[in-house]
Copies of this chain bind each other. A is one copy, B any other.
Amino acid sequence: MLGLMQDSPLLISGLIEFAARHHHDTEIVSRRVEGDLHRTTYAQVGARARQVANALDRLGLAFSDRVGTLAWNGYRHLELYYGVSGSGRVVHTINPRLSPEQVVWIANHAEDQVLCFDMSFLPIIKAAWSKCTTVKHWIALCDADALPADTGIPGLRSYEAWIGGESEQYAWPSFDERSAAALCYTSGTTGNPKGVLYSHRSTLLHAWGIALPDSLGISARDCVLPVVPMFHVNAWGLPYAAAMTGTKLVFPGAALDGKSVYELIEAEKVTMSAGVPTVWLMLLNHLKANDLQFSTMTRTVIGGSACPPAMIKSFRDDYDVTVLHAWGMTEMSPVGTVCKLKLKHLEMDPAAQLGVLIKQGRSVFGAEMKIVDPDGRELPWDGATSGDLLVRGPWIVSSYFKGEGGDPLVDGWFPTGDVATIDPDGFLQITDRSKDVIKSGGEWISSIDVENIAVAHPAVAMAACIAIAHPKWDERPMLVVVKKPGAELSREAMLAHFEGKLAKWQVPDDVVFVEAIPLGATGKMQKNKLREQFKDYRLPGA
C-alpha cells in the first residue's frame, strides 16, 4: 500500500523558484573576469535562468541535450546551472585547466550542443572549436559590446545578447526526478576521463544532506564564498544548497590568490568558505605575511585532498576559524563525510579535539560506507584497521556516462580507490589512495602521513611522498619537497624532522628537492607524474 502524500518530483527548478520567491533580495556577488564586482539577487538569477530556458527552447534543444560550460564561479554560470537543468537539459561543466585537446575530447564525448565560456578561456575555444563536432552554438559569457569581432568562431554570440530578448516568464517542465541534470568528468589518472551524470533527485537529496548542521550547516544567516570551482563537481553542491537555504553567495571568479580571496571575504562579510588545501595555503600565507585576521568568517570547508593537521590547527588557534574537514569524490556528488564534533567531544581539551578534527569526519546520512579487506570481507570500525573504502547511496554513481569503464559497482557498492580507517564513532580517516600507498616489506606506509609531517616543517611549501622500487623491500618511500621561497633545508634536516613522529621503517629513504610538484586540473598533486619522473631513481643503499 502506498502512502497518501503528494507526488512532487524533486526538481532543480524548484530550488531557484524557492530562492527567487522566499529570498528574492538575497545577494549573489561575483568578481567578474572583467575585474569589477557584480551584484545581483536570487530574484534576478531566477528571472535570467528563465531567460536561459527560453533561449534554449528557441535553439531547439531537446530534453537531456547537453550544454557545456567553461567558466569560473559567477552569476552567469549560476544562471546556466538553473536554466539548463531546470528546463530539462543537462549542464556539462568542463574543467578549463584541461588542455584544449582534453576539452575537445570531453565535449565530443558528451555531445555538447551549446558551449558557454568565460572570455578568459577564449584561447582554449579558439584552439578547440573546429574539432568540437557536436557543438552548434558558441556563447561567450559577456556583454554584447565585450565580444571581439574577429574570433573566427562561427556564430559566436554574447550571453547577454543571447538571453536579452527572452521573456523572464517560463513554465518549468515537470518530469521524472531521476532525469539527468548535470554531467562532470573525472580527471582520471589513467584512461580517458569518465563522465558522472547527476540526476535532479541526487542533486536535491545531496543539497539537503550538505546543508544539515553536521555537514556544512548553511542558512539564510550565512554568506558563503565557494572557492571550489563550479566546473568541479558543481562547487561541491553549494550553488544548489545555497538556493535551498537562501544563503548569500560570493563568487571569486578567476582571482584565487590569497590577497583577492581575503579582501572579498572581508568586504562581503563572508561567514563560510570552501576549497582545496592548496588555496587555503595561499590564503594563510597572505594572512601571516600581513598580520591579518578574519572579522566575519567562522568556518571553512576543506576537501579535495586531505587537509594537513597543521592547517586545521592554524585556522583554529591563530584565526578562530573552524575547519570542516570533508571527504568525497566526483562520483559522490561529492560529499560523503564532514568532520564535526559530537556531544561527547565537547568537553575534551583542544588538543584531544584536534585528534578528532584531523579526520575526514562522519557520514552525512545518505552516504553509507564500509571498509573491506582484499577479499571483500568487511573490516571493523576500530580506528586502527585500514581497508578499501566502499560507499553507496542515492547520490553515488551507479555507472559512468555511456557505460565507460564497465560496471564500477561491487555488490551494489562503489569502490572509492581510497584506503581508510573508521573509528567506533564513525569517523573516517583516509590513510591513502590505494595507488599511492607504499608497500614496504609486506607493510603499508601511508604517503599522506609522511606528507603531513613534512609540510609541518617551517621550510617546506609542498611535499609528496612516493614509492620507489626497492630490491629487498619491494617499495620504499621517497619524499619530494618544494622549499618555501628563500628557505634553507638540507636532506638531513628534513629526515631528522621525522624522528619520533614515525616508526623508523616508515621514514623516507631519501629526499629530493624540486622547483615544483605537478598539480592536476583540480589542484591535487599528480603523484603518478612524479612516479613516472622518478621511476628509475636509485635509493641510497638499494
Seen from chain A, the residues whose Cβ lies within 8 Å of a Cβ on chain B are 1-8, 10, 14-15, 18, 21-26, 63-64, 90, 176, 178-181, 196-202, 205, 208-209, 211-214, 217-223, 244-246, 248, 333, 340-344, 346, 362-363, 365, 368, 381, 392-401, 409, 412, 414, 424-426
A3/B202 in contact, CB under 8 A: yes
Contact of A394 among B10, B223, B340 (CB under 8 A): B10
Contacts A1-B180, A363-B18, A363-B22 given; indicate if A214 touches B209 (C-beta within 8 A).
no
Could you tell me the distance in whole angstroms from the C-beta of A412 to the nearest C-beta in chain B?
8
User: How far, in angstroms, from A392 to B200 measured CA to CA in the complex?
Assistant: 19
Q: How far is the CA of A220 from the CA of B217 in the complex (A)?
A: 12
CB<8 Å pairs between A and B, sample of 21: A2-B180, A3-B178, A3-B180, A3-B197, A3-B200, A4-B180, A4-B400, A5-B178, A6-B393, A7-B394, A18-B363, A18-B368, A26-B342, A205-B208, A208-B209, A211-B212, A212-B219, A213-B217, A213-B245, A220-B340, A245-B365
Q: Are A26 and B178 closer than 8 Å at their CB atoms?
A: no
Taking the closest CB of chain B, its distance from the CB of A369, in whole angstroms, is: 10
- Copies of this chain per assembly: 2
Q: Are A176 and B2 in contact (CB under 8 A)?
A: yes
**Residues A398 and B4 in contact, CB atoms below 8 Å apart:** yes
Known A-B contacts A213-B213, A244-B365, A343-B248; the reply to A6 vs B220 at CB < 8 A is no
Query: Which residues does chain B contribute within 8 Å of A26, judged by CB atoms?
Result: 342-343
- Chain A facing B: main interface SS: loop
- Distance between Cα atoms of A104 and B259 in the complex (Å): 71
Contacts of A392 in B (CB 8 A): 6, 8
Q: Which of B7, B205, B219, B412 contacts A213 (CB 8 A)?
A: B219
A336 to chain B, nearest CB (A): 12
Residues in B with CB closer than 8 Å to A425 are 22-23, 25
Contact B214 A219 (CB under 8 A): yes
Chain B residues with CB under 8 A of A412: 6
CA of A245 to CA of B214, assembled, Å: 7
Chain B residue with the shortest CB-CB distance to A365: B244
The reply to whether A1 and B208 contact each other, CB–CB distance below 8 Å, is: no
Q: How far is the CA of A222 from the CA of B4 in the complex (A)?
A: 32
Contact A3 B199 (CB under 8 A): yes
Is the Cβ of A245 less than 8 Å from the Cβ of B24? Answer: no
- CB contacts (< 8 Å) of A24 on chain B: these are 424
Apart from the given pairs A6-B393, A213-B245, 4 other A-B contacts in the complex at a CB distance below 8 Å: A212-B213, A212-B219, A213-B217, A214-B246
CB distance A365 to B15 under 8 Å?
A: yes
Contacts of A341 in B (CB 8 A): 220-221
Residues A4 and B401 in contact, CB atoms below 8 Å apart: yes
- How near does chain B come to A202, taking the closest CB pair, in angstroms? 4
Residue of B nearest to A195 (CB): B4
On chain B, the residues within 8 Å of A205 by CB distance are 10, 208
Q: Closest chain B residue to A203 by CB distance?
A: B3
Set of chain B residues within 8 Å of A3, measured between Cβ atoms: 178-181, 197-202
Among residues of B, the one whose C-beta sits closest to the C-beta of A4 is B197
A342 to B248, CA, bound (A): 10
**Partner among B90, B176, B208, B394 whose Cβ is within 8 Å of the Cβ of A6:** B394
Partner of A399, one of B4, B178, B209: B4
Chain B residue nearest to A202 in the complex (CB): B5
- The interface centre, meaning the residue of A2, A63, A346, A365 with most chain B CB atoms within 10 A of its CB, is A365
Q: Which of chain B's residues have a CB closer than 8 A to the CB of A64?
A: 1
- Identify the closest chain B residue to A413 (Cβ): B6
- Whether the pair B340, A199 counts as a contact (CB closer than 8 A) is no
Q: How far is the CB of A143 from chain B (nearest CB, A)?
A: 30
Cβ of A233 to closest chain B Cβ, rounded Å = 13
- Across chains A and B, which 8 residue pairs bring their CB atoms closest together, nearest first? A3-B199, A1-B64, A22-B426, A208-B208, A213-B219, A5-B202, A8-B394, A4-B197
Q: Is the CB of A221 within 8 A of B15?
A: no
Residues from chain B with Cβ under 8 Å of A6 in the complex: 392-398, 409, 412, 414
Contact at B220–A342, with CB atoms within 8 Å?
Answer: yes
A397 touches which of B5, B248, B362 (Cβ 8 Å) = B5
Chain B residues with Cβ under 8 A from A25's Cβ?
Answer: 344, 425
Known contacts A211-B213, A362-B22; A5/B199 CB under 8 A: yes
Question: How far apart are the CA atoms of A202 and B3 in the complex, in Å?
Answer: 9
A449 to chain B: closest CB distance in Å? 25
List the B side residues contacting A363 at CB < 8 Å.
Answer: 18, 22
A212-B208, A220-B343, A365-B18 known; A398+B7 contact, CB < 8 A: yes
A21/B219 in contact, CB under 8 A:
no
The answer to whether residues A426 and B23 also contact, given A3-B181, A181-B3, A246-B342 and a CB cut-off of 8 A, is yes
